[in-house]
Structure formats: C-alpha cells, structure tokens
C-alpha cells in the first residue's frame, strides 16, 4: 500500500463568520479577507510539512489545481512542485493535477511536467483533471459542454509530445500547432498518469481503456464514498479491465494523536473550520452541460448511504468531532486506532493509493508536524502489508526504490 501526503492549501486566517456571511468560497470570495503576507506564510507552512513527510516515508507529495478559492490557493501546483523537486529526495511528486482544458496551448503542460520530471530525477506522477465547474466554467470561462472534448484533445497532444521521436504537427479542433517538439523530455519512459473523478462512467471508461489510476478525491469519507468506489470496481470488472488496487486513489483526513482525548482537543476546531468555511454557490457547482446524461443517470441511481441532514450538518460544521469520525469524514485517535480504521478502509474499498490529508483547515503547524510523525513512524510501516503482492505501475519506480532503500524492504517495492 502507498501513502501520498496532501493538504488543501487553505487560507488559515479566515474570519470566524466567513462561512455564514459569504455566499461562496469559490469564484467570488472577497479578496479583502486575504492578507498576501499571510498567504506566503501559509505556502511556507505547507512546504515545510511536505519536506518533513519526505523524511518520514510517504510515497509521494500531492498537489492539486484550483482557482479563485480560499479552499486551495494553488492556481499553479507546478510552481510548488518545482520547490519540492529541488528540496526533497525520496517521495514522488504527484500533480493531481493539471486542468488540461484551461491551457492554451496545452502543450505547455507537457513541457512543465517534463521539466519537473528532470528536476526531480524521475519522480513525477502526471495527474490530469477535468477540473471543477467552479474552476473551468466560471473562473476560466470554458463552456461546460466543451470541457470533456477539450480535455481529451489536450491529453492526446500531451502524451504524444512526451514520447514522439520526431517533430510533428497537431491539428485538433481547439489546438493547431505546426511544430510540436517538446524540450526537454521526461526521464521516465512512461509517466504514471492519474485521473481524479467524482463517479462519472465516462471517466471510468478512460482510466480503464488506458490503464490509468483513478482517484476519488472526496472529503466525505468511507460511508459516503462506498457506492462510488464500489461502482468503479463493479464497472471495471464488467469490462474485464485491470482490478489492481493500486489503480484506486482515495482521500482521507487523518487526525492522529497520543490519545483520543488529545485528538479531539487538538483537531476538533480545525475540522469544523475546514467544513464550515467552505460554502459553494449552487449556481457555480451545477452549470448546465457540465455533467453528461450518463453521469446524471448514474448519480440518480446510486445508493445513498448518508442522509441529507447529516451531509448538511457536516458542511456547516455542526457535527461533533466523533460524529465526523463515525461517518468517516475523518479517521482520528491513537496510532493503533488509526491503523485499524485505515486497514478496514483500504481492504473494504480496495484502495492501494491512500491520499492522507495531514493538515486541515487552520490546524497549527506543530499539531500537523506531530500528526506527520505519529502516522509516518507508527502507522505507515504497519500497513505496508496491505496489497503488498500487487504490482504498482502508478508510482514512479525511482521513488519506490528510494523509499524502500531508506525506510525498509517493506516500504516500497513488492517482494519478488
């Protein structure tokens, strides 16, 4: 089993009443609440935590792309990735990912990821995303009906640009280039590709046809995610596609402490901050044309494992700390309890790539560092046996070798 360090690079000093007084934390949040000096301090906080994770045995450091939001101040994850590529040694760097439809021309993504792979010594995971409607339709003005078509055209151009032996012309519907001859090329002969999704059958078709890793990047936990993750595996089996657990990545907030009492004391306020301070205007989340008919149909037919009342209370920060834990939004407690809960999650949902959210909301840095230390030293080593016999072609070979060499034979590559 592999572990990927992640935090939504949240603005940590929002007003206490932000979630109740602002219409949306996406697209239209008032810039007046953000102090640029504090934003810079927050960036340094996240970089320090990721550098620490590199020394504790995580398999990758994961970054995402969002625009015009307090939730994730990473409009260019590749900039943070360049810092990590030059200042870390072991973990891969997962770009999960670049929103392909937003780049003109998208060959820019091919160039930047190739640069990062060279700078990191071959440690890049090339996550590519469709992008949320808030990012694509409203922040960048891409017509929702064009999004998938633009994404697939860009993906074809980018993957060809990484491997073509001669300059070539590309004549797509949205991009026309007389000469494509990417310099440099990646170190890895075949970059591992991840595509996050929220349950769309069309995305499942793509990842199964191309044998990519599928990422369900939910913050609603196991109970809410089970129908979607289970649906992916059922769909994959029906297509006789690859059932390797390492093709599934899943996001989970972790709150590890020396005791359950300490866990509640140290994390409860930050968890509520994270959920309470992130309202999204309904008009930004559901533009016509963003979801296809098969996706809408699949969502309507999917079983509901959580009540609307519970979802609403969670989003408003109205659940107790242990209610968040019980519903799976977080996994909290001592290293022993966290290990047990993560093992259940990974085995029941067939997850080989766990994206651990080790900082949440406005969590103090010293608590997040202790979270890293406890999970990295007392939980990760005990969970390496999960799916240990399965091949992992979705994490860079060089990072697997370095993690295994530094943190023990069971830390990276499976036994021969």
Q: What is the pLDDT of residue 292?
A: 84
pLDDT of 409 above 60: no
Gap between the Cα atoms of 108 and 123, Å rounded:
19
pLDDT of 377 above 80: yes
State what percent of residues in the chain have pLDDT above 70. Answer: 97
In this predicted model, what pLDDT tens digit does every residue of 217-256 receive, in sequence order? 888 888 888 999 999 999 999 999 999 999 999 999 999 9
CB 244 within 8 A of CB 391: yes
Architecture per CATH, domain 2-407, reads as: Alpha-Beta Barrel (3.20)
Residue labelled with tokens 């992640």: 6
> Beta strand 168-171 with 176-180: parallel, antiparallel or unpaired?
antiparallel
Q: Which of 74, 59, 67 is nearest to 8 (CA)?
A: 74
pLDDT of 411 above 80: no
pTM of the model: 0.95
Calculate the dihedral angle through the C-alpha atoms of 270, 274, 275, 281, rounding to the nearest 10 degrees: 150
pLDDT of 414 above 50: no
CB 153 within 8 A of CB 147: no
In this predicted model, what pLDDT tens digit does every residue of 58-100 receive, in sequence order? 999 999 999 999 999 999 999 999 999 999 999 999 999 899 9
Mean pLDDT computed over 303-307: 72
In this predicted model, what pLDDT tens digit does every residue of 166-218 receive, in sequence order? 999 999 999 999 999 999 999 999 999 999 988 888 899 999 999 999 999 88
Q: What is the pLDDT of residue 410?
A: 53
In this predicted model, what pLDDT tens digit does every residue of 3-29 receive, in sequence order? 999 999 999 999 999 999 999 999 999
Q: What is the pLDDT of residue 415?
A: 40
State what percent of residues in the chain have pLDDT above 90. Answer: 87
* pLDDT classification of 294: cutoffs 50, 70, 90: confident
Structure tokens at 88: 């870390």
pLDDT of 155 above 90: yes
Gap between the Cα atoms of 360 and 64, Å rounded:
15
**Average pLDDT over the chain, rounded to whole?**
94
CB 104 within 8 A of CB 66: no
Gap between the Cα atoms of 143 and 133, Å rounded:
10
């Amino acid at each position: 089993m592999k572990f990927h360090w992640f935090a939504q690079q949240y603005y940590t000093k929002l007003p206490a009443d932000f979630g109740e007084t602002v219409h949306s934390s996406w697209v239209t949040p008032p810039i007046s609440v953000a102090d640029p000096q504090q934003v810079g301090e927050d960036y340094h906080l996240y970089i320090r935590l990721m550098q620490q994770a590199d020394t504790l045995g995580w398999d990758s450091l994961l970054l995402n792309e969002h625009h015009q939001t307090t939730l994730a101040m990473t409009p260019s994850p590749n900039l943070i990735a360049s810092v990590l590529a030059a200042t870390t040694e072991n973990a891969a760097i997962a770009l999960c990912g670049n929103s392909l439809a937003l780049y003109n021309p998208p060959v820019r993504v091919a160039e930047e990821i190739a640069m990062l792979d060279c700078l990191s010594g071959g440690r890049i995971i090339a996550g590519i995303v469709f992008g949320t409607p808030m990012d694509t339709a409203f922040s960048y003005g891409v017509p929702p009906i064009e999004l998938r078509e633009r994404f697939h055209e860009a993906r074809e151009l980018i993957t060809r640009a990484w491997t073509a032996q001669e300059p070539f012309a590309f004549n797509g519907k949205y991009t026309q280039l007389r000469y494509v001859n990417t310099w440099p090329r990646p170190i890895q002969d075949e970059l591992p590709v991840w595509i996050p999704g929220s349950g769309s059958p069309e995305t499942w078709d793509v990842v199964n046809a191309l044998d990519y890793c599928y990422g369900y990047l939910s913050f609603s936990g196991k109970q809410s995610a089970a129908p979607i993750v289970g649906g992916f595996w059922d769909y994959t089996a029906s297509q006789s596609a690859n059932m390797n657990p390492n093709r599934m990545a899943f996001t989970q907030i972790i709150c590890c402490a020396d005791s359950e009492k300490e866990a509640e004391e140290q994390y409860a306020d930050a968890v509520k901050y994270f959920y309470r301070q992130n309202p999204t205007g309904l008009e930004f989340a559901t533009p016509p044309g963003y979801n296809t008919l098969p996706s809408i149909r699949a969502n309507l037919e999917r079983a509901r494992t959580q009540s609307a009342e519970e979802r609403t209370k969670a989003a408003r920060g109205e659940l107790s700390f242990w209610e968040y834990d019980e519903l799976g939004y977080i996994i909290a407690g001592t290293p022993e309890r966290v290990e047990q809960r993560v093992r259940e999650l990974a085995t029941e949902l067939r997850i080989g790539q766990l994206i651990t959210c080790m900082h949440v909301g406005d969590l103090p840095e010293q608590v997040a560092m202790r979270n890293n230390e406890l999970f990295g030293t007392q939980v990760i080593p005990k969970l390496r046996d999960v799916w240990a016999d399965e091949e992992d072609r979705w994490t860079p070979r060089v990072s697997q070798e370095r993690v295994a060499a530094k943190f023990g034979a069971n830390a990276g590559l499976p036994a021969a």
